[in-house]
Structure 1
């Protein structure tokens, strides 16, 4: 050793005194140290096979019983038959209610229509009385006769019906007696001897009773 070697300082030694943690370990070893089981270090670890995209496979679930009913109880044939009978009865009841509702609505529509037509025709009865009076005087001729016939035809098409002729049996619900005369012998019941003004009705609606002279048989 020369004098130059003795004067040269010794080389510096750097020592890392920090404890090696999981971050300082390699990737596979670090994951095994962090998430691995805290078991015997010498025992080999058994890893689960990864699922799709590297994820562990979920635990398998047992399939549900296809024949289980509510609450897991099996449904028998008697229970199914009882449910079927209940649903059938419900459908029949709903259908009957709907049929009754449809009939009621149709009946109400017809009643409203008859009332509306009756109100209109009641306002036209004086016109018909004037036509009858003019016809009795022989004034319904030529063009006026055509108008009168057309009007009476259209009113009949709407359901207007006239009643009250001589010889009809007297009915207090349809005839209004304005006078009484003695009936011929042998007449069994009162009759209309003379019609002063005809009556009119639409369907079951009485618009006006007929004014008549009643031939009353003797007691």
Structure 2
């Protein structure tokens, strides 16, 4: 029988038989003595199964995290693409607005010039009659030339010359006659000059037309 005095003292470094002998788990799959594959003990199998389960759970968590990250990245990419599409549409709308505004300003300018020129046509007719009769001289000549130059600078052009081919799109025939000397309808005389801009006829030239005989 072992007495209390026979037990090893605490801290002596010797295992206490009452506490049991320490056990070690050898996880090596190959037996170092025989070189053969060892069969795991029940305890080793339990530990291996536990490690496998833990590893599987860890991999599942990582996979779920990866899937969630991919889903979040796809959502952010979709948001970015929508933002880029909205920005592109906004740029196109602004570009169309600028072009439309410029076209409207140019059209308004042309309408203003045409309206002013049409209002001045009677004055231009009087100036032309005074020139034909030799009454345009002195200060009035200078004013008439300045007016004509100003209208030309805004694209207003006087047209209509005797001898040119008659064009009903730009000429208004007030008189007709026939002659063997022409092979097509021809302006014989300009009664009133026409006025036009680059894109419209302000007033057709009023002319006398001579047609071929026969």
TM-score normalised according to structure 2 size: 0.61
Instruction: Work out which of the residue numbers 191, 199, 204 in structure 2 matches 1:196.
Output: 191
Map of 2:203 onto structure 1: 208
1:156 aligns with 2:152: yes
Map of 1:130 onto structure 2: 126
Distance of aligned partners of 1:149 and 1:185 in 2 relative to their CA distance in 1, 3 Å threshold: closer
Q: Which structure shows the higher helix fraction?
A: 2
After TM superposition, give the deviation of residue 142 of structure 1 in Å.
2.3
Distance of aligned partners of 1:183 and 1:98 in 2 relative to their CA distance in 1, 3 Å threshold: farther
After TM superposition, give the deviation of residue 134 of structure 1 in Å.
0.8
Instruction: Work out which of the residue numbers 77, 83, 91 in structure 1 matches 2:87.
Output: 91
Which whole-Å CA distance do the structure 2 matches of 1:91 and 1:137 have between them?
Answer: 67
Which whole-Å CA distance do the structure 2 matches of 1:78 and 1:186 have between them?
Answer: 81
Tell me the SS of whatever aligns to 1:74.
helix
CA-based RMSD of the aligned residues comes to 2.3
Tell me the SS of whatever aligns to 1:156.
helix
Long gaps (5+) in structure 1:
1-67
Map of 1:105 onto structure 2: 101
Long gaps (5+) in structure 2:
1-64
C-alpha distance after superposition, 1:72-116 (max 9, x if no partner): x43455444444333322222221121111111111111112112
Which whole-Å CA distance do the structure 2 matches of 1:183 and 1:75 have between them?
Answer: 91
C-alpha distance after superposition, 1:123-171 (max 9, x if no partner): 1111111111111111112222212111211121222111111122222
Q: Which moved more, 1:84-93 or 1:145-154?
A: 84-93
Which whole-Å CA distance do the structure 1 matches of 2:176 and 2:150 have between them?
Answer: 35
Q: Which moved more, 1:128-137 or 1:138-147?
A: 138-147
